[in-house]
Structure 1
Amino acid sequence: MKVLLLKEPKSGEHGADPYVEELSSHGLQATLIPVLSFKFVSLEQLYDKLCHPENYEGLIFTSPRAVEAVTLCLQTSTNKEAWAHSLKNKWNSKPVYVVGKATSSLVDELGLSSEGQTSGNAEKLADHICSKNVSYSAPLLFPCGSLKREVLPKRLKEMDVPLETITVYQTAQHPDIRSSLTRYFTQVY
């Protein structure tokens, strides 16, 4: 039996997508077709903000893509050196809030410590941030996508936690989705 998964392939322990591995272990043949694509934007502005940790009380990442945007900012050797020599340590002295283990893993790869990964969603992360009962003199920096929900910003505003958002990626339909679906259904039927 065949199964179509409309998602981006992810590598598991053995290099294959964990969903494909699990379905295969039950005798099912899974095919993955990505449906979304991401375009990174405002990376220079993001890097400028990252260069001034003194202007922020911490960072918030609610998606792996936002962390990828930071990684892209650090690809030049000059930026990478600045991050390694001082910026990373300055940001590590501040809280870095995340939603999810995948996001937390990517934050770890940047050399930052994170908290909140078990919160599960932005609303619960906002509650976690607010539960710290900290009086913020500067905003938290929130790199996010163009389709972000307003739950986190709204909740933080209600609790007088200043937030500065910067859109660092845009979500769109994957450019190959039609041809991939056509190819799949031509082979199956």
Structure 2
Amino acid sequence: MKVLLLKDPKESENGQDPYIKELGLHGLEATLIPVLAFEFISLQTFFDKLFHPEQYHGLIFTSPRAVEAVRLCLEDNCKKEVWENSLREKWNTKPVYVVGKATAGLVAEIGLRPQGENCGNAEKLAEYMCSRESPNSLPLLFPCGALRRETLPTILRGKGIALEGLTVYQTTQHPKLQESLRNYFSQEGVPVSVTFFSPSGVKYCLKQILKLSGDLISQIKFAAIGPTTAEAIAAEGISVSCTASSPTPQDLTTGLRRSLQL
């Protein structure tokens, strides 16, 4: 049974994307098509803020791209040396909140200690943070994308927890997306399921998938990696057959098997 995953490939220890590996273990032949490209911006401003941890209560990372922005800031050897010699440990005296295990793993790779990794979305992370934080005068530094949702900032500010957002990347459509979709449907046919991994993926892909599927659209089970993406699919009038309980290969596989009655 063929399933289509609209996401970037990520290598695991054996070189295979963990979603492809997990789905394959349960008889699902998964194909990945990258949907998004990212342009990083305001990196010097971001590093200037990272350079002054005393001005912040902690950090929030809700996507792997926000962590990648830190890596890009540290490509300069002098900045990397400052980070490794002093800044990293100063930040580690403060909370570093994350959404999801993938983001937590990247945060650990840059030497920070993540908290909240079992929170699968921004709303759950906000609830977790509110259970641990009290109103404070210093803001949490929140590097984010240009299309961020206001769920987390709204909840935190409602509890008197200060937040300072900084846009460090913006999202664009992958330059080969439309071609990749056409090639997939012409070579592989209509899949039994399509999983969206972001609202942007819904925006950039759904109309073409509906067109390419034609009369066979009713056989596709549409799935979402989380509630925000599920809302974006539903807003287009499409029924969501499966929403992963958390953004992991195991939970997505469980949800897909249930929706496909495997």
Coarse TM-score class (shorter-chain normalised): over 0.9
Aligned residue number for residue 58 of structure 1:
58
2: distance between equivalents of 1:104 and 1:154? 23
1: distance between equivalents of 2:127 and 2:183? 45
1: distance between equivalents of 2:19 and 2:128? 30
The residue matched to 1:118 in structure 2 has which SS? coil
Q: 1:22 Cα deviation (Å)?
A: 3.3
- How many equivalent pairs are there? 189
Aligned residue number for residue 156 of structure 1:
156
Unaligned runs of 5+ in 2: 190-262
1: distance between equivalents of 2:30 and 2:81? 42
1:58-137 map, 5 Å: 58-137=58-137
Q: 1:46 to 1:13 in 2, by over 3 A?
A: same
Q: 1:133 Cα deviation (Å)?
A: 4.2
2: distance between equivalents of 1:33 and 1:64? 18
- The one-letter amino acid of 1:73's match is C
Q: 1:28 to 1:162 in 2, by over 3 A?
A: closer
Conservation of the 8 A alpha-carbon contact between 2:101 and 2:118: yes
Q: 1:170 Cα deviation (Å)?
A: 0.8
Aligned residue number for residue 182 of structure 1:
182
Q: 1:67 Cα deviation (Å)?
A: 0.7
Unaligned runs of 5+ in 1: none
Aligned residue number for residue 6 of structure 1:
6
TM-score when scaled to structure 2? 0.68
TM-score when scaled to structure 1? 0.92
Q: 1:71 Cα deviation (Å)?
A: 1.0
Q: 1:26 Cα deviation (Å)?
A: 4.7
Q: 1:18 Cα deviation (Å)?
A: 2.1
Aligned residue number for residue 171 of structure 2:
171
Q: 1:2 to 1:126 in 2, by over 3 A?
A: closer
Q: Which moved more, 1:26-35 or 1:165-174?
A: 26-35
The superposition leaves residues 46-102 of structure 1 with CA deviations (integer Å, 9 ceiling, x where unpaired) of: 001000111101001111111111111111101100100110011111111111111
Taking only the aligned residue pairs, the percentage that are identical comes to: 61
2: distance between equivalents of 1:129 and 1:70? 22
Q: 1:20 Cα deviation (Å)?
A: 2.0
Q: 1:19 Cα deviation (Å)?
A: 2.5
1:19-38 map, 5 Å: 19-38=19-38
CA RMSD for the aligned pairs?
Answer: 1.6
1: distance between equivalents of 2:27 and 2:107? 36
Q: 1:27 Cα deviation (Å)?
A: 5.0
